[in-house]
Amino acid sequence: MEKIFNPKKNTWIEILKRPTKEFAEVESTVTQIFSEIEQFGDKAVNNYTKKFDKAELSDLLVSEKEISDASNLVSDNLKEALKVAKANISKFHESQKVVIKPIETTSGVICWQETRAIEKVGLYIPGGSAPLFSSVLMLAIPAKIAGCEEIILCTPPDSKGKINPAILYAADLVGITKIVKAGGIQAIGALTFGTESIAKVDKIFGPGNQFVTTAKQVATKYGVSIDMPAGPSEMLVLADSSAKASFVASDLLSQAEHGGDSQVILVSTDKDLIAETEKEVEKQLAVLSRRDIAQLAIDNSKLIYVEDVDTAIELSNEYAPEHLIIATEDFEKVALKVKNAGSVFLGNYTPESAGDYASGTNHTLPTNGYTKSYSGVNLNAYYKTITFQKISKEGLKNLGSTIEIMAAAEGLDAHKNAVSIRLK
């Protein structure tokens, strides 16, 4: 990991760059695949699944038998863990329901808003070397709570055309029945345009690599909304002398093992902690099953020393991390200064992996600096908000002249007449 001491502010943007490809580099590939899916549907999805996942499929949809068989392939311990996680995630997202009462803005003028669930949503679940069955819970549970009518889950198959049984069990646990064997750009394309087997959706959710992230962004050009740009995983740990090097190293590596294009950063006010953490990273890395992948991420990562916590939090806000761990003596005070972060973990005993799996918060979060303007997945992401208003005769008399004056000033006579004709 590169060590940097007291970087000047005018160098922050450069040293905090992510190790990702530029959007334009990936967009041409996405556009080509999208074009073929729009034209050829299932056939194009199958062709790209064969090309990228080495799987030849007779049917894109997972059968009921495959779903029921998966239960026998998942250990009882994992089943129980998933049930505990489901309960916590459900509890946290249920608490996000908000009822807004009607308000009388002027005597006789009543306004309110109501939510309606997005009808058709697509959930993307990464597969490959680390199938994220936990993402099934994170995306499907709020979709179910919100009341989305159609929920389609896409996830890549292995070379034998099989879906990881834990993904299928998790989907069954939360009541998802339509599961598509498709990953990457072709899955996002299928959800964007619809095919013979896959319905076009209104909004796409889920994390993924740079190609999936770019595909989601391109999908917005075709009238499909997305949760957020959520690409390669990243973390920033802000720590002082009260932090434990072994804890910090374990957290850094927990994100590094997601993929070679992940990035982790330690910003600390303690040079000794930086040195000890570097040693701990090497020690813990050596025994990881995904050490080769984690090593690639560690090579792109930084150890940064700054002189005070205020500078550290300012630097963190500039980086705008997906995950932020604050391991300082006065972490609650420091947390008040957080402006940009996807999810924040406070104190030495709050590992980021708690949020990834079972504490209850959602782990689908914006990356690549998008926490400056995007939020992580929450219940509201599955809703549309519609405003309503009801005006009585008396209410229109009270408000009418205000509307007439403003409409006339804008030169919109028909707007003014819509009120005037009623008042007469």
Catalytically annotated residue among 234, 280, 322, 352: 322
Mean pLDDT of 93-116: 96
Catalytically annotated residue among 258, 323, 352, 363: 323
β strands within 86-227, DSSP E: 103-106, 109-117, 120-124, 150-155, 178-181, 203-205, 225-226
The residue among 18, 19, 14, 16 whose CA lies nearest residue 312 is: 16
| pLDDT over threshold 80, residue 75 | yes
Q: Are 47 and 32 in contact (CB under 8 A)?
A: no
Look up 323 and say whether it is catalytic. Answer: yes
Domains of the chain by start residue, with CATH: 2-17+232-360 (3.40.50.1980), 23-226 (3.40.50.1980), 392-423 (1.20.5.1300)
Mean pLDDT of 204-226: 94
Question: What pLDDT does 278 receive?
Answer: 97
What tens digit of pLDDT does each residue of 365-418 get?
999 999 999 999 999 999 999 999 999 999 999 999 999 999 999 999 999 999
Question: What pLDDT does 210 receive?
Answer: 87
Question: What pLDDT does 127 receive?
Answer: 84
Question: What pLDDT does 23 receive?
Answer: 75
Mean pLDDT of 260-278: 97
Question: What pLDDT does 280 receive?
Answer: 98
What tens digit of pLDDT does each residue of 285-310 get?
999 999 999 999 999 899 999 999 99
Mean pLDDT of 149-169: 96
What tens digit of pLDDT does each residue of 227-262 get?
998 888 999 999 999 999 999 999 999 999 998 999
Whole-angstrom distance, CA of residue 372 vs CA of residue 126: 25
Look up 258 and say whether it is catalytic. Answer: no
The residue among 155, 160, 151, 233 whose CA lies nearest residue 187 is: 155
Which uninterrupted H or E stretch holds 396?
helix 393-409
Q: pLDDT over 90 for what percent of the chain?
A: 94
Average pLDDT of the chain to the nearest whole number: 96
Question: What pLDDT does 209 receive?
Answer: 86
> Residue for token digits 């001491």?
5
Strands 2-5 and 302-305: what pairing? Answer: parallel
Burial of 33 (0-12, 13-18, 19+ CB in 10 A): buried
What tens digit of pLDDT does each residue of 6-59 get?
999 999 999 999 987 777 788 999 999 999 999 999 999 999 999 999 999 999
B/e letters for 261-273, b = 16+ CB within 10 Å, e = fewer, are bbbbbbbbbbeeb
Question: What pLDDT does 130 receive?
Answer: 76
Residues 397/398/400/404 CA torsion (nearest 10 deg) = 130
Q: Are 233 and 258 in contact (CB under 8 A)?
A: yes
| pLDDT over threshold 80, residue 159 | yes
Question: What pLDDT does 229 receive?
Answer: 86
